[in-house]
Every structure is written in C-alpha cells, then in structure tokens.
C-alpha cells in the first residue's frame, strides 16, 4: 500500500521529482565526467611511460661510446642510450626533428603501423605528422640535413613517450603537425663523419635516486653540458600541466554544479515532506509506526537519487569523459586514451544519496514528534507582524500592491528565497566564468603576438655561425636578435633549479610589459629582469641577487634583479646583450627577428626554420578551439541546470502561493494581474542574483587562471563588457521564460480545492 502511495505521490508531483532527478543526474554527470577524463589522462600516460620505458634524465653534450660506458658504471643507473637529434627538412621543406639511435630499449616506440625498430635502413615516422601529410608505411621520403640527403622508406608510424607535445621552439604554443614532426632512424644511416651523439637518455633504477644520479653525472662526466629531468622537458610539462589544470576544474565546476543541485534538492524535498503532513497524520492515526513512515518518505528521495546517480555516472563516463579525452588525444601523441572512473565518483554519488536521505529523515522526524491530532491540521505559517509591517513604512509605503505583496512573501519565506538566489547566482557565475575564460585566452593571444612580439618573421639560426655568416643575414634581414641560454639557479640552501635566460638585442621587436599589460621602456644594461610569476613563486624582490651558472660551465655568476616583466608563457630571466658581455660571456644569437616579407621563401642559408607570426597565432587559435568545445559543454550544463533550478523553485513558489492566488481571484483580481505579481518576484530574484553572479564570475575566472594554469603560464582574467551583458541577459531571459510558463497555471486554479483544503 505504501509503495502504491509513493508512486501516486510521485505521479502527482511529477514535475518536482523530475527536476530532482535531473539536478542530481547533472551534478553527478559533471563531476564524474570531468574526473573520469582527468584520471583517464593520468592513467593513460602512466601506462604509456611505464610500458615504453620513458627515460628519467636527458644528458646533453657531445658524446661517444666511452662517455656512454662511463655513465652506465654510475651507481643506480639501470640503462643508458646514445642519441643524435638534429633538425632536418623534407623535400617540400617541412621540418623533421630527426633522432638517430643505436637501440630502442629506452623511450621505446609504440608502433601504430609497420615494423619494430632495427638497425637496418628506413625511417620510423611521427604518426600525427604522417596522418596530416598523407604518408603511409612503404612510402619513401626525402630527409635533408646540410649536405646530407637520404631517401628513406617509411617502415613504421610511431608514437614515443618523450614526444607527446612537440613544438619547434618556446614561441610556438600549439604543435603544427602538418609542418613539423619527428622521425627516428638507425645511426648507421648517417655518414660516419657526421656521427657525433648530442644526448644520452638515462634510465634510473628508482625515482628516488634521480637527483643523486644527476649530481653524479655532473661531477664525473666532463662532456655533460646539461642534465634535464624528464619532468622538466616541454613535452612532459605540457601534458602534466593539462592534467593539473583539470584537477582544479573538476573541483570548481563540478563542485559548483553539485552544490547548486543539492541546495535545490534539499529545498524541494523539504517542501514535499511538509506538504505531506496531513497524510503523515493520517498514517499515524491508522496505526503505522514512526519508523515505517520515515522509511516510506526516505524512499521518495532515496530511489530517485540512486537512479539519478547511476544515470549520471554512466553519462559522465560515456558522454563527457569520452568527449573530453578524445579532444585531448587530438593534441597529445599518446595511444589508447580512455576515461577512467575512480572511487571518488562513487563516493560522491553515495554522499548525495545519504544527504538527501538525512534531510528527509530530519524533516519527517520533526513532523512525527507531533501527535496525530496536530499533524492532521494544516500548519499555519508563522507570521511576525513587526517583520511584515515594513511595507507600511518609508519608501515601502509608496509601493504598489503587487510589490508590497512580494516583499511580504519574500520576508515570510526567507529560506526559499535564499535557495533561489544561491541557485541562480551559481549558474550566472558559471556562465560568466566559461565565457570569461575564452575572453581571457583571446586577450592572451593579443598580448603575446601583438604587444610582446612585434615582428612578422622569426628566423631560428643554425649553431656556431661565423661572424661573416651572421653579417650576411644582418645585411638582408636586420640585426634584431636574441639568445636563449639554459641555466641553473642556486638558492640560499644550495638547491639548483633549471631555467633559462633570454638575452635580447632585438630592440622594439621583443618588448617588455608590466603587470598591468602596459609596454615598458627599453630594458637597462645594469642587471637582470625576472618575470612576475617567477618572482612570486620564488619570493624575489627588487634589488635581490640571484646566483646562476650556464649548463656545461661550472662558473657561477651573481646578478642583481633590477626589474620585473610579464611573460604569459615563459617564466624566466631576461637581460640585454650588453649586460651579458659585461659578465665576460660571448653573445651567440640563435634567433633573428625581421619584418622583411618572406611569404614565398621556404629556405634560407644558415637558418634552420622560418616562423611566420600569423602561423603562431593560428596555432594558438587551434588550441582555443579545443577549449571552446569544453567550455560550450560547461555553459550548456550551466544553462540547463539553471533552467531546471529556476523551474523547480518556481513550482515550489507557485505551490505555496496557490491558496493566496485563489484568494486574490475571489477578491476580484484578474489572471493577468496575478501573473504579473508572480513573475515580478522571480524577476527580482533573477536581477539580484545577476548583480552578485557577475563579479563572482570574474573572481572565479581569475582564481582559475592563477591557480589551475600550469606554472609556466602567467595570465589572469580579462572579461569583456559584452560577456557580462550576454550572461546577464541570458540568465534573466531564462528566469523570465520559466516564470511566464509557470504563470499560466494560475488560470487553471481549482478555486474550491484551493480554498476549502485549508479550512
């Protein structure tokens, strides 16, 4: 009998129970989906790194087999392999990072198609690059480097664990897989006179020993110019940074979704139970025990919460999790990406079910404390004359009837109003945040590629050019150059951390900006500049000194910090050419900036690559397109959840006011007048929610950028006025349309049932 009663009650209040189901489902779906895709990225990477034996250290320098043997003898080293990495070109002038190896036991290939590596002829090609350029196994490609030209058969399409996210240099944010890729071949294919290995991959027996092995190599291997942990390489950092960002997103976005959903569920279930007080009194009078009645009403929320959680978990995994991770796998070269559901998603679902059950238990228990005679009477609302008397004073006295009525109703139902405000504020905040992140990223592109970079082309120069060769380039393209130097900075405790120095002699082609994004004057020659974020992370202040040395040179230098600058994508140290030379260090430019039109030029003597500023912008736009897809999904969920919450609160509000509306009808008010009264209060709540939601959206966006974005990036929120207008108008329209829809119910009020039921 009680089961039949529960189904009848659910059918009678179907719209409210559907909203409960949808709110729990959306909250769980958002949390479990984002969590599944982030955990999936981490597990996919861990599996790929482990199964394909990603190296722990990259030792840079010029090496032979004696150096390799010396490194292998160092304690705690499991294995080591020589590698020669050079920047080659193809017959259509595309760029290949060519890696020549003797064996493939470290950073082993994942072969999509073709054969495993051996020391015979042929080339193993980047899978993404080959797909973009229509290259298949068995095709022959031309590989050119200086005087070397090799026609190599493609023997395999591969992905490699230390090439997840390759870009040509630090100025390129997004990999251009059509123009740039990597390739591997046997060292036996290279002419003997060119065989000089420039790196050694080192596999350490235990992660705990990496630092000690690094120090031992520095102390014992003379040719080791730089030793880089795999965690500091750009490919590893880019992928891990994406995961770390997602961990913050899952806590913020899905946390807000769940919070909003739970507030509304609690409000709805509280009202449902209170509206059942007469039925509860009847059950008590018929002899049902309190525990049986409590279990009956707990079942309302319990079963709906269970079904909603199951559907939310399934949709989160198969819909959001799969969509997001498939988007990520288009950007990172890692095989077999899949979402992964962990215990936290099940625990959150269980927590939601328990909270709903507890709320119903508390409300039901408070009613069950009363005796049946009291419970069978409709509870008279607690009305405080002093509180409602506010409409007779001051400005309130001049309000029209509908406004006074709504002010009194709000004061009478503070909790319902607060829940409505909280729900709409949360949705408005999410919409502003999602749109604001796009605005901020677009501003970041402008700052990077228009304000900081004031050139049309960047020429990446070959190493060890003579003065005459440099002068030839200067004569044709100008002498605005820079040099990037890998360094280690030593803190007061003797701890050393990798970084780099940008030495600029580029004039106005490379500009500095302050923390307010204003272009600064020409840098001084008296010391070094540190980026704001690096200074904040390390506690540097103006006038402090940093101690550093160049990789491969044990001589330390001490430099005074004379200023700070903002760099959105690199947190490093900067200095002028003049200051570098004052330290006795030779300036060797590796980049040249020019505005000479190079549109139809594919190759320049002594230049490795030619980069067009427009192509760099396009790369960033490509990365934004992925972000837009994710944010559109978040905006969609926020709008859907907002609409459901507004509808749910409107239903509750209407149900509670049905008696008053019937009374107003008896007093002669027309349906349209009553509808305006009902809509006006919801409009007030929407407007107040928007006023709070807009600034909260800004602060949430700013916090996300400063907290979630990987530490190499530095940009905060920059939200355009039109975004606030869109979010405000959108939120208000949703609220108004839902209110307008619900107001139509006023025309169908059953006067007899509404008025006689409360006698």
Residues 6+ apart with CB under 8 A from 416: 267, 271, 649, 652, 653, 656
pLDDT digits (tens, 9 = 90+) for 308-333: 999 999 999 998 888 888 888 888 99
Distance, C-alpha 676 to centroid of its chain: 43
The mean pLDDT value of the chain amounts to: 85
Evaluate whether 83 touches 200 at the Cβ level (below 8 Å): yes
Q: Which two tokens stand for residue 735?
A: 């609220």
Segment holding 78, helix H or strand E: strand 77-89
From residue 560, give the alpha-carbon distance in Å to each of 322, 486, 514, 578, 599.
50, 18, 19, 15, 42
Instruction: List the one residue out of 585, 635, 130, 48 whose CA is nearest residue 334.
Output: 48
The pLDDT value given to residue 151: 92
Instruction: Give the count of alpha carbons within 13 A of 564, CB side only.
Output: 18
Domain ranges of the chain: 1-53+250-379, 54-236, 413-452+614-759, 457-596
Element (H, E) at 703: helix 671-707
- Please, which residues bridge with residue 82 across strands? 200
Handedness of CA 303, 307, 309, 310 (dihedral sign): positive
Is the model's pLDDT at 758 over the cut of 60?
A: no
β partners of residue 86? 98
196, HSE (Cβ side, Cα atoms, 13 Å) = 6
- Per-residue pLDDT, averaged over 445-459, amounts to 88
Measure the CA–CA gap between 448 and 593, rounded to whole angstroms. 15
Of 694 and 168, the structure prediction assigns the larger pLDDT to 694
Q: What share of the chain has pLDDT > 90, as a percent? A: 33
Q: What is the pLDDT of residues 187-234, one digit of tens each?
A: 999 888 888 899 999 999 999 999 999 989 988 888 888 888 999 888
Binning pLDDT at 50, 70 and 90, where does residue 273 land?
Answer: confident
Structure tokens at 617: 């912008």
pLDDT score, position 530: 94
Kindly report whether the global pTM for this prediction surpasses the value 0.85: no
What DSSP character marks residue 590? -
Strands 607-612 and 457-461, bridge-based pairing = antiparallel
Q: Are 712 and 233 in contact (CB under 8 A)?
A: no
Using DSSP's 3-state secondary structure scheme, residue 353 falls into helix
Give the tens place of pLDDT for each residue, 383-414. 555 656 666 676 777 788 888 888 888 887 78
Ramachandran angles phi, psi of 668, nearest 5°: 105, 5
- Which helix (H) or strand (E) element contains residue 60? strand 57-63
Query: Higher pLDDT residue, 418 or 393?
Result: 418
Per-residue pLDDT band at 59 (split at 50, 70, 90): very high
Q: What is the DSSP letter of 478?
A: -
**pLDDT over 80 at 358, yes or no:** yes
| d(C-alpha 534, C-alpha 532), whole Å | 6
Where does the pLDDT of residue 709 fall: very low under 50, low under 70, confident under 90, or very high at 90 and above?
A: low
């Amino acid at each position: 009998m009680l089961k039949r009663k529960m189904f009848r009650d659910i059918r009678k209040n179907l719209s409210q129970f559907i909203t409960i189901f949808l709110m729990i489902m959306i909250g769980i779906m958002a949390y479990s989906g984002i969590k599944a895709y982030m955990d999936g990225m981490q597990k996919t990477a861990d599996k790929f790194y482990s199964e394909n034996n990603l190296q722990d250290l990259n030792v840079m320098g010029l090496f032979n087999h004696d150096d390799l043997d010396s490194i292998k003898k160092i304690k705690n080293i499991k294995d080591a392999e020589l590698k020669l990495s050079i920047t080659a070109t193809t017959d259509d002038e595309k760029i290949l990072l060519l890696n020549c190896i003797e064996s493939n036991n470290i950073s082993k290939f994942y072969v999509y198609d073709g054969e495993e590596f051996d020391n015979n002829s042929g080339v193993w090609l980047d899978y993404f690059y080959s797909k973009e350029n229509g290259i298949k196994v068995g095709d022959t490609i031309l590989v050119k480097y200086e005087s070397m030209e090799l026609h190599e058969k493609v023997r395999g399409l591969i992905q490699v664990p230390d090439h997840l996210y390759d870009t040509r240099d630090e100025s390129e944010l997004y990999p251009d897989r059509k123009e740039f890729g990597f390739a591997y071949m046997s060292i036996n294919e290279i002419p003997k006179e060119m065989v000089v290995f420039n790196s050694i991959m080192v596999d350490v027996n235990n992660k705990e020993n990496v630092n000690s092995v690094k120090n031992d190599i520095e102390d014992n291997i003379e040719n080791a110019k730089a030793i880089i942990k795999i965690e500091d390489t750009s490919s590893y950092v880019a992928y891990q940074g994406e995961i770390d960002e997602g961990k913050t997103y899952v806590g913020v976005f899905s946390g807000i979704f769940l919070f909003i959903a739970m507030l509304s569920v609690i409000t709805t279930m509280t009202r449902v139970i209170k509206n059942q007080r007469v039925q509860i009194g009847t059950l008590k009078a018929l002899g049902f025990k309190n525990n049986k009645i409590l279990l009956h009403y707990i079942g309302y929320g319990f079963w709906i919460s269970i079904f909603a959680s199951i559907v939310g978990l399934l949709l989160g995994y198969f819909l959001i999790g799969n969509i997001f991770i498939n988007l990520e796998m288009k950007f990172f070269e890692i095989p077999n990406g899949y979402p992964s559901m962990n215990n936290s998603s099940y625990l959150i679902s269980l927590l939601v079910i328990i909270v709903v059950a507890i709320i119903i238990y508390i409300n039901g228990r408070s009613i069950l404390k009363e005796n049946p005679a009291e419970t069978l009477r409709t509870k008279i609302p607690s009305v405080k004359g002093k509180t409602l008397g506010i409409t007779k004073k001051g400005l309130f006295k001049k309000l029209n009837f509908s406004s006074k009525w709504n002010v009194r109703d709000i004061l009478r139902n503070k909790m319902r109003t607060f829940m409505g405000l909280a729900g709409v504020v949360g949705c408005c905040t999410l919409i502003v945040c999602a749109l604001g992140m796009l605005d901020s990223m677009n501003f970041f592109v402008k700052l990077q590629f228009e304000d900081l970079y004031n050139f049309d082309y960047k020429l990446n120069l070959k190493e060890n050019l003579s003065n005459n060769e440099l002068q030839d380039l200067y004569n044709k393209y100008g002498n605005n150059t820079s040099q990037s130097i890998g360094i280690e900075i030593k803190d007061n405790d003797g701890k050393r951390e990798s970084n780099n120095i940008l030495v600029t002699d580029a004039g106005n082609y490379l500009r500095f900006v302050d923390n307010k994004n204003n272009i600064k004057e020409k840098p001084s020659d008296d010391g070094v500049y540190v980026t704001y974020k690096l200074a904040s992370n390390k506690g540097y202040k103006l006038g402090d000194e940093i101690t550093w040395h160049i990789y491969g040179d044990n001589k330390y230098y001490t430099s005074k910090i004379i200023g700070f600058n903002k760099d959105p994508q690199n947190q490093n140290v900067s200095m002028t050419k003049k200051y570098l030379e004052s330290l006795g260090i030779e300036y060797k430019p590796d980049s040249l900036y020019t505005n000479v039109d190079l549109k139809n030029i594919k190759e320049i003597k002594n230049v490795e690559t030619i980069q067009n500023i427009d192509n760099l912008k396009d790369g960033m736009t490509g990365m934004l397109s992925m972000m837009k897809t994710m944010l559109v999904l978040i905006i969609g969920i926020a709008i859907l959840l907002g609409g459901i919450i507004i509808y749910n609160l409107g239903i509750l509000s209407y149900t509670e006011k049905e008696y008053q509306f019937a009374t107003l009808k008896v007093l002669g008010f027309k349906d349209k007048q009553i509808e305006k009264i009902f809509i006006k209060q919801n409009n007030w709540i929407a407007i107040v929610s928007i006023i709070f939601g807009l600034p909260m959206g800004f602060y949430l966006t700013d916090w996300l950028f400063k907290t979630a974005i990987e530490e190499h990036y530095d940009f905060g929120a920059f939200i355009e006025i039109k975004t606030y207008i869109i979010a405000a108008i959108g939120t208000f329209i949703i609220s108004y349309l839902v209110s307008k829809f619900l107001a139509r119910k006023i025309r169908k009020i059953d006067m007899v049932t509404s008025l006689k039921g409360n006698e």
